[in-house]
Structure 1
Amino acid sequence: MKKKIIHKLVYTYETCVSLDEHLICLKPRSNNFQKLNNFQLKIFPSSHSVFPLISENGDDMFKVFFTGDTNSLTINAESDIETKFHPDLCYLKNNYDLSLPLKIESNTSLTGFVKGWFPNGQHDPAAIKIAQEALAGTKNNILDFLDQLIELIKERVKYTPRHLGPAWTSGRTLSERVGSCRDLAILLMETCRCVGIPSRFVSGYQFMDQPPEKYELHAWTEVFIPGFGWRGFDPSSCGLINHNYVSIASSSSKSELVAPVRGSFFGPSNLKSKLEWSIEII
């Protein structure tokens, strides 16, 4: 499936400000499940310089430095992307041991993806509890566990859009019984880690068969499965993701690390600013 994604963000300030350096995370990945044919990033004001970099998870980002003052900042990212078929894991041959807990001790690159989400490295007690429930009756198989876990999450948490603020903890999402896509992605990530499954938070786009009035960035979870590698699971939608998904970047810890734009500005105290954004998929 070939698509063009046009993502535009416009920041306006009530008076001229000096922009500090910004990090921009809007370039989709290019891998076996999606091919990035073209990417263009346009930034205004034109008095800036761009430094490309690669994040700790191997994703493309851009550091932007500005000179002079401005009363607006416009960022326009255009991506020509081709998504590929995602094979159903249940029908693929896999000779690896998929029983829990996974045997990943020899793969030191994965150890950071099983640590607890809390700052002290501990797992959220609410995530531990729902993980124990999902394990019941699964014969400790990772694929059965994921299926049962996602069903439990869907039963207990209603997906609700929420545009402001970082992702909630698993405990808050489960107690509120509502959550945004990033809240549910963190919940799935943390719950998988409780039983030793490497997982990470992912930001990107989801195509709709019937386009909504306004597209938004989406979030889901990637899980490492021996023999299958990193595969995406969306607890707020279809479970195992398909060719309707385009991933941009991932984080092993905080959702804020894959925000589309991170930066600050210098200006008068109590200065008001405004953000307008649009995502067009054609």
Structure 2
Amino acid sequence: MRLKIIHETKYNFSSEVYLEPHQLRLKPKSTSFCVLDSFDLEIHPNPMATREQIDPENNTIHFVWFQNKTKELIIRTNSLITISEYNPFTFIIFPSQYLQVPFNYTEELKTALFASLRNMDIDQSLKDYSSSVLEKSNNTIDFLTNLTQQIHNDFELCYRHEGYPFDPNKTFNLKKGSCRDLAWMQIHLFRNLGIAARFVSGYYYIKVDKPKYELHAWGELFIPGAGWVGFDPSYGVVTGNAHIALVSSSHFDQTMPVTGTIRGGGNSILNTTLYINEL
């Protein structure tokens, strides 16, 4: 299957502003089942320069800087991707000490995974929620999939176009949230059990009659023997070839598609469009 993805982000400013350097995280990752055939980045106004670089967590970032004033910033990406069949359960957990939750990583892994193990304080009620799922089965895969499905069943998925993910406690009390709210809550449920988890931003492609695509978010866990495995609480699934990752990080603020500041007064209006078409 071949997909064409067109993603446009547009900022309109009420008065002319200077654009400070911006970081763009919009280039799809290539994986064993998702090959990026081509990628084009268009920016208006034309930046003075664009530098593609790799960040400390192995994500591709386009660092751009500008000159002169402008009343708008338009960022448009065109990606062609080839998707192949993929079974997300084609792995074994090894060594056997990781077959049951809770488990302890080796000291070497703890060092490598340090940022993805940092957990925030969450309410006891939220800890009890994951404990109730763990009581059903402490088999690692059973627990991870059961908790993902439980969140999907118990929480209402709603759409919130802007803003950082809610605090996990807030999402739990509301019993609803955007994809990023649910992912961030689940990440901290896993981290409180000593499981390394990171935040992923990307696309989720499903063939529907009247598609309306938006950026999507989910979590990835590090399981020895399997590596990083994605779990999507919004849909209650282990991620497969319908999930196309752009960027992953131990903290959501390093996955924002566009980050940067402006100099000058006035307000801004953000509009985004995302088209995913099967060729």
TM-score normalised per structure 2? 0.92
Superposed displacement of residue 105, structure 1: 2.1
Q: Quick one: which amino acid aligns to residue 34 of structure 2?
A: Q
Q: Quick one: which amino acid aligns to residue 239 of structure 1?
A: V
What runs of 5+ residues in structure 1 fail to find an aligned partner?
none
- Residue 124 of structure 1 contacts residue 171 of structure 1 at CA under 8 Å; is this kept in 2? yes
- Residue 91 of structure 2 contacts residue 225 of structure 2 at CA under 8 Å; is this kept in 1? no
C-alpha distance 84-123 of structure 1, shift in aligned 2 (>3 A)? farther
Superposed displacement of residue 84, structure 1: 3.1
- Residue 185 of structure 1 contacts residue 220 of structure 1 at CA under 8 Å; is this kept in 2? yes
What secondary structure, in the 3-state scheme, does the structure 1 residue paired with 2:181 have?
helix
User: CA–CA distance in 2 between the matches of 1:193 and 1:281?
Assistant: 33
Query: RMSD over aligned Cα, in angstroms?
Result: 1.7
Q: 1:219 aligns with which of 198, 217, 228?
A: 217
User: CA–CA distance in 1 between the matches of 2:248 and 2:6?
Assistant: 20
User: CA–CA distance in 1 between the matches of 2:191 and 2:219?
Assistant: 12
What runs of 5+ residues in structure 2 fail to find an aligned partner?
none
What secondary structure, in the 3-state scheme, does the structure 1 residue paired with 2:273 have?
strand
Q: Quick one: which amino acid aligns to residue 272 of structure 1?
A: N
What secondary structure, in the 3-state scheme, does the structure 2 residue paired with 1:7 have?
strand
- Residue 28 of structure 1 contacts residue 36 of structure 1 at CA under 8 Å; is this kept in 2? yes
Partner of 2:268: 273
Superposed displacement of residue 33, structure 1: 3.0
Q: Does 1:110 align with 2:113?
A: yes
How do 1:149-228 residues align onto structure 2 when only pairs under 5 Å count?
149-210=147-208, 212-228=210-226
Identity %: 33
Q: 2:260 aligns with which of 259, 263, 266?
A: 263
User: CA–CA distance in 1 between the matches of 2:245 and 2:183?
Assistant: 13
Q: Which runs of 4+ in 1 moved over 6 A?
A: none
C-alpha distance 109-276 of structure 1, shift in aligned 2 (>3 A)? same
Superposed displacement of residue 109, structure 1: 0.8
TM-score normalised per structure 1? 0.91
Superposed displacement of residue 151, structure 1: 2.7
How many corresponding residue pairs? 273
User: CA–CA distance in 2 between the matches of 1:29 and 1:124?
Assistant: 35
Superposed displacement of residue 252, structure 1: 0.4
How do 1:48-197 residues align onto structure 2 when only pairs under 5 Å count?
48-89=48-89, 92-97=91-96, 98-106=99-107, 107=109, 108-116=111-119, 118=120, 122-138=121-137, 140-197=138-195
User: CA–CA distance in 2 between the matches of 1:126 and 1:53?
Assistant: 42
Q: Quick one: which amino acid aligns to residue 131 of structure 1?
A: S
What secondary structure, in the 3-state scheme, does the structure 2 residue paired with 1:130 have?
helix
C-alpha distance 212-177 of structure 1, shift in aligned 2 (>3 A)? farther
Partner of 1:249: 247
Superposed displacement of residue 47, structure 1: 4.2
Superposed displacement of residue 129, structure 1: 2.0
- Residue 12 of structure 2 contacts residue 270 of structure 2 at CA under 8 Å; is this kept in 1? yes
After superposition, what is the alpha-carbon deviation per residue over 1:91-147, rounded to whole angstroms, capped at 9, x for unaligned? 65545322122331231212321220x3xxx45544422221111021x21111112
Q: Quick one: which amino acid aligns to residue 30 of structure 2?
A: S
- Residue 158 of structure 2 contacts residue 178 of structure 2 at CA under 8 Å; is this kept in 1? yes
Partner of 1:32: 32
User: CA–CA distance in 2 between the matches of 1:29 and 1:88?
Assistant: 17
User: CA–CA distance in 2 between the matches of 1:278 and 1:105?
Assistant: 44
C-alpha distance 226-212 of structure 1, shift in aligned 2 (>3 A)? farther
